Amino acid sequence: MEKKEMMYEGKAKKVYATDDPALCIVSYKDDATAFNGQKRGTIRGKGVVNNKMSNYLMQRLQAEAGIPTDFVEELSDRDTLLKKVSIVPLEVIVRNIAAGSFSARFGVPEGTQLLCPTLEFCYKNDALGDPMVNNYHIIACGWATPEDLDTITDYTFRINAWLKEFFKGVNVDLVDFKIEFGKTADGTILLADEISPDTCRFWDAVTHEKLDKDRFRRDLGNVEDAYQEMMKRIFGTQE
Ligand code: UDP
């Protein structure tokens, strides 16, 4: 399958059309942004890590947790063939441990273990700064139907449960993460976008060292090393 015209260029990925109207190709870049695009940079090798990690997790979530995804086939280090979906305009955020905007907003110190996993939705709109919204906002504005929101909520908690166990096995605490869902032409909800150190907070289970994009956001140094370390923990000596 070959890339045709570019349909979309985002902060970290480009998406291309293919000869098949039901499929597209995503190409992961090394570009990094934070704080709604105000901070920009490059993380060498990030595109390869995010492509491979995300594809691996999507395939296992599909096989072992029964989550339908848009993954079709990894084409190269940076390129993957996907089912074409229209993205539900929500950032779906799950938190197991307080960090980032949760800590800032609610005054709960970073690192506080939450008593249960929490779910947040943000409306995907850069101009508005991706505001947090609730189920009523989503249904009232038509961003998702009640049925689709139920499906998304069910999938999201199952995804969290599976990912938390998986990362525990590689000595990493899954602090929080953001996922997105898409809808196919026939109305099926699929897990879409990526699951990577760009979209998850990963802390070493023992040292609590940050192994994710917070190293870039907060200028902590060793950003590339953190991405490579996560790669090593997941793929071991295979990579
Ligand atoms: N996140 C993301 N994209 C966003 C906002 C958040 O991937 O536009 C992820 C982020 O990496 C973290 C989780 O969602 O794993 C929760 O992020 P938070 O709301 O704390 O925002 P941040 O502090 O990253 O601005």
Q: What is the mean pLDDT of the chain?
A: 97
* Alpha carbon of residue 221 to chain centroid: 22
Nearest CA to ligand 1 atom 21: 101
Angle 113-156-48 from CA coordinates, rounded to 5°: 90
Position in ligand 1 atom list of the atom nearest CA 200: 15
- Is residue 87 a contact partner of residue 37, using CB atoms and an 8 Å limit? no
Rounded Cα–Cα distance for residues 199 and 140 (Å): 27
Q: Is the CB of 101 under 6 A from ligand 1?
A: yes
Rounded Cα–Cα distance for residues 176 and 95 (Å): 4
239 C-alpha to center of ligand 1: Å?
Answer: 28
Same domain, 191 and 103: yes
Query: Residue 18 phi/psi, 5° resolution?
Result: -130, 180
Rounded Cα–Cα distance for residues 4 and 104 (Å): 43
Same domain, 109 and 32: no
3-state secondary structure of 19: coil
Looking at the DSSP bridge assignments, the partners of residue 69 are: 191
Tokens, residue 49: 């890590």
Number of domains in the chain: 2
Structural domain contains residue 45: yes
201 C-alpha to center of ligand 1: Å?
Answer: 8
Write the pLDDT tens digit of every residue in 13-69: 999 999 999 999 999 999 999 998 899 999 999 999 999 999 999 999 999 999 999
Rounded Cα–Cα distance for residues 50 and 78 (Å): 8
Write the pLDDT tens digit of every residue in 168-218: 999 999 999 999 999 999 999 999 999 999 999 999 999 999 999 999 999
Report which residue type is found at 176: D
> The domain that contains 77 carries what CATH number?
3.30.200.20
Write the pLDDT tens digit of every residue in 47-59: 999 999 999 999 9
Name the residue range of residue 161's domain.
Answer: 86-223
Where a domain ends, among 83, 108, 143?
83
Where a domain ends, among 61, 83, 105?
83
Predicted TM-score (pTM) of this structure: 0.96
Rounded Cα–Cα distance for residues 159 and 14 (Å): 25
Position in ligand 1 atom list of the atom nearest CA 176: 15
235 C-alpha to center of ligand 1: Å?
Answer: 25
192 C-alpha to center of ligand 1: Å?
Answer: 16
Position in ligand 1 atom list of the atom nearest CA 130: 8
Assign 239 a pLDDT band (cuts: 50, 70, 90). Answer: very low
Structural domain contains residue 229: no
Rounded Cα–Cα distance for residues 169 and 145 (Å): 36
Tabulate helix, strand, coil % of the chain (nearest 5): 35, 35, 35
Nearest CA to ligand 1 atom 2: 199
